[in-house]
Each structure stands twice: as structure tokens, then as C-alpha cells.
């Protein structure tokens, strides 16, 4: 399996035609609005227009757990070098929310630019910023739009203002708007008109006095922009998923919502009949119960949830492990329980999911770090589930799942589906029956039959752990022990099948970094910073699955110091490594932890590693 990393070094820094006073293609924009104001499509136009100019971008939405009226921030990072992790410092602010405007302005980097509604009078707050006062309400009125939609139109006005101030091509904006409103020509014209009103206002009234501009590049040709949840849904559809019970929870809902749209388009036959069943369950317990029922009966089944929902699935997850039933569970991780910070990102379900349920359960986990891996692991998870006859967890997170990322386009699956060890009636006749939990092949994976298999010896009785090889009820100690040992062998087999970690660097450095998931993007940028600013060369291993493969043991063994960077408080990846690694290696491991709900950024990693290194000298 290949990964698509937008190589940071691939694009040479563009030489600006504007001279030294400008900062070209290397800054961040923050749009501060109120949620429910319809700013999402305006922000998307801004992001995609810059992308269309060939400049690498990433977009992150920081939103509240609320429908309308609370502050929302959307951040666009423009990076000629292709860095797409969050950038902690903001350079250009579009202040549309009176409530947060003061704080937003105070948090800007010196020399930053502020586009604001003139009524907010922000220009007196600091003297080291460039201010652009815009009469947004008045401009929205001049667009001629109905009062009802003026609020939305106002958002497009700021797109026009930003476009002019930052030198975004109007041609790119026009193409983007027309694509975004492809089916609504009238809406496209209305929005474009609003963009022009903003653009013209700047042209006729304001003078640029900040350094931030964009210039055309050729670094995004052929690339797509997509969020991880859409990518996961695509993977599931091409994996041939058929049964999808789910229960809505942020930030995972859009996995299934996207899947519903896709399946309606591509998985309904000429007679209008569906090759799938998507069911909104009454809760997550029912969702996972249906997954197991469907998996037992032979379907490719999945659900998607997040921490609190995954918690509810614990008992069934254990049953799935012991009864050996395939199923795929996407966990789009967020912070905390119930009314914690449900709309913020984290990587804090790792240890919980690794052993989720009652005693002695271990689960196979896939850890996508890119949107392309959300797609690829989305496909792969279904093969693994049926090959290994066990629930497979795919741990994404809010940052990956709900934000927009650039990627190479996804590739069509060339391998046929692997449906695992399933015996049909003819095979049963030849074999003279079968033993459901017997390790025939020495890999710990037994053979199964599906309900409905037309043979008198096909049926077996499915229950929890109290069964012998023939699936008969037993409480004999040796039967239980044998079954447990076989399950452990099966977990060893999983090591051969899961995606291997990816090494970056020479492999010969003294210092190593281990990370997984979205932490990847901060780590690759940090490695460049460490090398440039601290003369510290590092090797980097990105873990992509649990159980851990030999490469991970080797990586730790080869390095003097290994920083394990992750987005949780309790060093969860490091804790899992501690269980697996040779005890003499453990002293090498050091934790770098980021857990405030915002995506981790490179500066944080660099500072932490530099401090550790200094202390270690």
C-alpha cells in the first residue's frame, strides 16, 4: 500500500516577482464568524481558489458544539513548501464576529493584517497591524440581494475583499464559485456578484499595506481536496460494504452521510433496488449489534462513531472478538465525553480501543494519517475483517475526518475482495463436516459457514468464549485455554497482514521520532525545523496499525532516543509500545504530548524536542 505524502521538499520556493517586502504563499488566514451564519461555502471558495492557483493549502474548521450563534474560526494555511499541519500563528484575520474580535486581534502575529467590519472599530487595539475597515452591511445591500439572504451574501463580500488584498486571481475565484454551485446557476451569479462588490470596494477605496500575497505556482496540479470522512466513505463503498447501521455523533456522522449519498448514486440497480441497507440505529449498542449480526450472516458490515459511542460498543466488541465475527468500526476521535469538547480533535481512544471490552481482548486497529489512507484503509479494513474474522477498528480523528486536505487522487482497488475462510455446501460434503474453531492451517484462523448454507453439517452454535473447537458449550479449563492461545496466534497472523509503518530519514540518525495519524503532518514539518534551526537530523517512523510489526521494534533498537509524539494526555501510543518492546529499550522513549483539542502544530513539536535534547546533553 502506498501513501500519498505531499512531499514538503518537492516544490522549490517560488521566487517572488514582487521583491523582498512581500511574504508570498506562506501565511495563514483566519476567518472568525458566528456558527450558523453560512460562512462555510465562502471559506471553501477562498481555500479552493488559492488551491486552483497551484498553491498548496489546508483548511481547518474550529467550530463549537452548537447550531447557531457561537464563535467559529476557519483557518486557511497557504504554504509554498506544502506544509499542511495547523500553523499556530495567524497572519491575516477576517474579523466578522463582534464577540471575539478583540481577542482575535490581540492574538495576531505582529505585522499581521485585519479585515474587519467597520462598525467594530478594531484599529485602536494595536498599532503593529495593518487594518482594513469594510462596511460589509452596506456592501451586502448594494449587491441587490434579498434581505433574507444578505447575511450569506456578506460572506461572499469578504471573499472578494480578501481576493483583492491577497492578489487571489478573480478568474480562479470565478471558476471555483461556478464549480461549487454547479447545479445552481442563479446562486453562482449572485455569489459572484457579491465577490465583485468586495473586490471593487478594495480596489477603489483601500490601499494595501501588509506583506501577504499569493502568486501562481504549479504545486497542486492533479491533486484533489477532500476530507477524511468522505474518503473513508469512498473506501467503504468500493470495499463492497452492504450493511451499515449507525448512530449520529460528531465528528463521525459525515462518514455515513457521505456514504448514503454515494450508495444512492452508485449502488442502486436498474430496477431501483439497493445492494445495501443503511439503517439509523437506536443507539451505538444496536449499531454494533447489527454489524455483528450482519457479519455473522456473511455481509460486509460497518459502523462509524466516536469515543462516547465506541464506549457503548465495548461489550459487543468483546463478543465479536471471541465469537470471531468480522465487522468494521470507524472511530473518528474527538475529545472527552458528552458535553466535553465534542467538536475538537484528539488521539485519545487508542489504548481503550486496543483492548476494548472484558478481559483478554485485543483488537486490530488501522491508523490512517492521510485522507488517502482513510480511503485505502477503508477498503483494506473489510478484507482484514473477513480474513481475520474479527472486528477491525479504523482510528481517524476530527482533524483528518472533517477538515479539507490535499491529496493525490485515489486509486481503484486492483485486488479482488478477500472474503476469508468460508466453507460452502460442496466443500462441507467433501470434508464430511467442519469444526468451527479448529486451527486447521496453523494461523489461528478457523473456517466458518454462513447461515443458509444448504448442508446438514453446516450449522454451528455461536456464543461467547465458552466453546470448544466444535463450537459446543464447554467450561473445561483446557478448552478455554486452547481457544485463548489460538486467538493469540490469530493476532500474530494479523501482524503479517496489517499496513506496515513508513520510515522517513536516512535510518542512521541517533534520534528517532514515532507518530501516527494526523500528528504526522506536524512531525514532518518539525523535522525540517529541527534540522534547519537546531542542526538535529532525525529519523521518523509513522505507525499505521496495531498490532505492532517488527519494523517498530527495530526502529527503537536502532536509535539512542525516540520521541513518541501524540495527541493525548496519557502517552497512549507509548504505553502500548511499552507492553510490546523489549524492556531494555524502554528508557529510550520520551513523550511529546499535545492535548488541548486543537490539531498539533510543528512549532510545538520542535520546541518540545529541542528542550528535551538540550536537557539530555
Q: Which residues pair with 511 in a beta bridge?
A: 538, 561
Distance of CA 357 to CAs 312, 317, 352, 468, Å? 10, 6, 9, 21
From candidates 65, 142, 427, 462, binder to another protein by CB under 8 A: 462
Closest to 364 in 3D by CA, of 347, 378, 348, 381: 381
Q: Which of residues 257-316 bind another protein (CB under 8 A)?
A: 262, 266-267, 269, 272-277, 279, 281-283, 285-301, 315-316
At residue 335, φ and ψ (nearest 5 deg) are -85, 155
From candidates 150, 216, 455, 578, binder to another protein by CB under 8 A: 455
> Measured from the CB atom, is 50 or 213 closer to another protein?
50
Is 359 an interacting residue with respect to another protein (CB under 8 A)? no
CA dihedral angle for residue 109, residue 114, residue 116, residue 122, rounded to 10 degrees: 60
Indicate the angle between helix axes 314-323 and 284-296, nearest 10 degrees: 10
> Measured from the CB atom, is 24 or 45 closer to another protein?
45
> Measured from the CB atom, is 33 or 449 closer to another protein?
449
User: How far apart are alpha carbons 306 and 544 in whole angstroms?
Assistant: 19
User: How far apart are alpha carbons 504 and 607 in whole angstroms?
Assistant: 20
> Measured from the CB atom, is 272 or 583 closer to another protein?
272
> Measured from the CB atom, is 61 or 529 closer to another protein?
61
- Residue 325, all three cell numbers: 465475527
* Binding window for another protein (CB under 8 A); candidates: 5-13, 31-39, 184-192, 457-465: 457-465
The dihedral region occupied by 28, where left means phi > 0, alpha psi between -120 and 50, and beta the remainder, is beta
DSSP 439-460: -SSSSS---B--TT-SSTT---
> Measured from the CB atom, is 243 or 589 closer to another protein?
243
> Measured from the CB atom, is 60 or 372 closer to another protein?
372
User: How far apart are alpha carbons 302 and 294 in whole angstroms?
Assistant: 9
Is 23 an interacting residue with respect to another protein (CB under 8 A)? no
Binding mask 225-244 for another protein (x = CB under 8 A): xx-------x--xxxxxxx-
From candidates 157, 328, 385, 458, binder to another protein by CB under 8 A: 458
Is the distance from CB of 311 to CB of 333 less than 8 angstroms? no
Is the distance from CB of 284 to CB of 312 less than 8 angstroms? yes
Q: Which of residues 311-340 bind another protein (CB under 8 A)?
A: 315-316, 319, 323
Is 454 an interacting residue with respect to another protein (CB under 8 A)? yes
Is the distance from CB of 276 to CB of 263 less than 8 angstroms? yes
By DSSP bridging, strand 545-546 and strand 26-34 are: unpaired
Q: Which of residues 172-231 bind another protein (CB under 8 A)?
A: 222-226
User: How far apart are alpha carbons 616 and 459 in whole angstroms?
Assistant: 62
* Binding window for another protein (CB under 8 A); candidates: 107-115, 127-135, 452-460, 533-541: 452-460
Is 464 an interacting residue with respect to another protein (CB under 8 A)? yes
User: How far apart are alpha carbons 24 and 410 in whole angstroms?
Assistant: 30
Q: Which of residues 402-431 bind another protein (CB under 8 A)?
A: 409-410, 412-413, 416-417
> Measured from the CB atom, is 233 or 367 closer to another protein?
233
In the DSSP assignment, the letter for residue 78 is E
Is 246 an interacting residue with respect to another protein (CB under 8 A)? no
Nearest distance from C-beta of residue 212 to another protein, angstroms? 26
Is 495 an interacting residue with respect to another protein (CB under 8 A)? no
Binding footprint of another protein, residue count (CB under 8 A)? 71
* Residue 329, SS3 per DSSP: strand
Nearest distance from C-beta of residue 54 to another protein, angstroms? 12
> Measured from the CB atom, is 46 or 323 closer to another protein?
323
* Residue 91, SS3 per DSSP: coil
> Measured from the CB atom, is 209 or 463 closer to another protein?
463
Nearest distance from C-beta of residue 450 to another protein, angstroms? 6
> Measured from the CB atom, is 283 or 441 closer to another protein?
283
Residue found under cell 478481559: 359
Is the distance from CB of 371 to CB of 1 less than 8 angstroms? no
Is 459 an interacting residue with respect to another protein (CB under 8 A)? yes
Nearest distance from C-beta of residue 225 to another protein, angstroms? 6
From candidates 432, 456, 583, 614, binder to another protein by CB under 8 A: 456
User: How far apart are alpha carbons 233 and 254 in whole angstroms?
Assistant: 9
Nearest distance from C-beta of residue 223 to another protein, angstroms? 8
Is 533 an interacting residue with respect to another protein (CB under 8 A)? no
Is 440 an interacting residue with respect to another protein (CB under 8 A)? no
Nearest distance from C-beta of residue 379 to another protein, angstroms? 10
Q: Which of residues 121-160 bind another protein (CB under 8 A)?
A: none
**E strands within 118-190?**
130-134
Is the distance from CB of 100 to CB of 106 less than 8 angstroms? no
Nearest distance from C-beta of residue 41 to another protein, angstroms? 16
Nearest distance from C-beta of residue 138 to another protein, angstroms? 37
> Measured from the CB atom, is 297 or 557 closer to another protein?
297
Nearest distance from C-beta of residue 522 to another protein, angstroms? 24
* Residue 330, SS3 per DSSP: strand
Helices (H), 498-561: 519-534, 550-558
**E strands within 118-230?**
130-134, 212-213, 224-227
Amino acid at each position: 500500500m502506498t501513501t500519498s505524502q505531499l512531499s514538503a521538499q518537492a516544490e522549490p520556493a517560488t521566487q517572488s516577482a514582487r521583491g523582498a517586502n512581500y511574504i508570498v504563499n506562506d501565511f495563514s488566514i483566519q476567518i472568525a464568524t458566528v456558527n450558523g451564519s453560512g460562512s462555510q461555502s465562502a471559506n471553501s471558495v477562498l481555500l479552493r481558489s488559492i488551491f486552483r492557483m497551484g498553491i498548496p493549502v489546508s483548511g481547518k474548521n474550529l467550530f463549537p458544539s452548537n447550531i447557531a450563534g457561537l464563535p467559529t474560526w476557519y483557518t486557511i494555511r497557504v504554504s509554498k513548501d506544502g506544509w499542511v499541519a495547523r500553523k499556530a500563528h495567524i497572519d491575516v484575520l477576517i474579523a466578522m464576529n463582534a464577540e471575539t474580535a478583540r481577542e482575535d486581534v490581540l492574538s495576531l502575529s505582529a505585522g499581521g493584517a485585519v479585515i474587519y467590519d467597520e462598525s467594530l472599530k478594531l484599529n485602536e487595539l494595536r498599532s503593529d497591524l495593518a487594518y482594513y475597515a469594510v462596511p460589509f452591511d452596506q456592501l451586502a445591500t448594494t449587491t441587490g440581494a434579498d434581505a433574507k439572504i444578505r447575511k450569506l451574501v456578506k460572506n461572499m463580500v469578504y471573499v472578494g475583499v480578501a481576493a483583492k488584498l491577497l492578489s487571489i486571481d478573480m478568474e480562479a475565484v470565478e471558476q471555483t464559485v461556478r464549480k461549487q454551485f454547479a447545479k445552481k446557476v442563479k446562486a453562482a451569479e449572485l455569489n459572484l456578484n457579491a465577490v465583485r462588490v468586495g473586490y471593487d470596494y478594495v480596489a477603489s477605496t483601500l490601499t494595501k499595506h501588509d506583506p501577504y500575497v499569493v502568486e501562481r505556482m504549479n504545486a497542486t496540479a492533479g491533486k484533489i481536496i477532500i476530507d477524511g470522512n468522505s474518503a473513508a466513505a469512498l473506501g467503504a463503498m468500493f470495499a463492497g460494504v452492504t450493511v451499515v447501521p449507525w448512530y449520529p455523533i460528531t465528528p463521525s456522522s459525515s462518514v455515513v452521510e457521505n456514504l448514503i449519498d454515494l450508495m444512492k448514486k452508485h449502488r442502486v440497480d436498474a430496477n431501483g433496488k439497493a445492494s445495501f441497507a443503511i439503517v439509523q440505529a437506536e443507539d451505538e449498542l444496536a449499531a454494533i449489534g447489527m454489524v455483528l449480526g450482519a457479519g455473522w450472516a456473511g455481509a460486509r458490515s460497518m459502523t462509524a462513531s466516536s469515543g462516547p459511542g465506541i464506549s457503548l460498543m465495548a461489550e459487543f466488541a468483546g463478543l465479536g472478538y471471541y465469537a470471531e465475527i468480522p465487522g468494521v468500526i470507524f472511530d473518528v476521535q474527538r475529545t472527552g465525553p458528552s458535553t466535553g469538547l465534542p467538536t475538537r480533535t484528539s488521539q485519545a481512544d487508542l489504548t481503550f480501543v486496543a483492548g476494548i471490552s472484558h478481559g483478554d481482548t485485543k483488537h486490530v486497529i488501522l491508523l490512517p494519517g492521510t485522507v488517502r489512507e482513510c480511503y485505502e484503509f477503508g477498503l483494506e479494513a473489510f478484507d482484514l475483517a473477513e480474513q481475520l474474522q474479527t472486528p477491525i477498528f479504523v482510528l481517524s480523528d476530527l482533524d483528518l475526518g472533517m477538515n479539507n486536505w490535499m491529496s493525490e487522487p485515489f486509486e481503484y482497488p486492483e485486488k479482488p475482495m478477500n472474503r476469508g475462510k468460508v466453507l460452502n455446501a460442496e466443500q462441507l460434503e467433501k470434508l464430511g463436516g467442519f469444526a468451527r474453531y479448529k486451527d486447521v492451517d496453523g494461523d489461528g484462523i478457523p473456517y466458518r459457514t454462513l447461515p443458509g448454507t444448504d448442508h446438514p453439517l453446516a450449522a454451528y452454535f455461536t456464543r461467547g468464549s465458552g466453546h470448544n473447537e466444535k463450537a459446543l458449550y464447554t467450561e473445561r479449563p483446557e478448552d478455554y485455554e486452547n481457544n485463548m492461545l489460538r486467538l493469540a496466534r490469530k493476532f500474530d497472523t494479523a501482524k503479517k497482514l496489517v499496513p506496515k509503518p513508513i520510515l522517513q530519514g536516512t535510518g542512521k540518525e541517533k534520534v528517532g521520532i514515532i507518530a501516527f495519524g494526523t500528528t504526522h503532518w506536524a512531525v514532518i514539518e518539525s523535522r525540517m525545523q529541527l534540522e534547519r534551526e537546531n542542526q538535529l537530523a532525525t529519523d521518523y517512523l509513522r505507525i499505521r496499525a496495531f498490532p505492532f510489526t517488527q519494523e517498530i521494534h527495530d526502529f527503537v533498537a536502532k536509535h539512542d532516543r525516540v520521541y513518541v509524539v501524540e495527541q493525548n494526555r496519557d502517552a497512549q501510543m507509548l504505553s502500548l509500545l511499552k507492553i510490546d518492546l523489549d524492556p531494555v529499550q524502554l528508557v529510550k522513549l520520551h513523550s511529546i504530548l499535545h492535548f488541548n483539542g486543537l490539531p498539533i502544530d510543528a512549532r510545538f513539536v520542535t520546541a518540545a524536542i529541542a528542550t528535551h535534547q538540550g536537557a539530555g546533553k
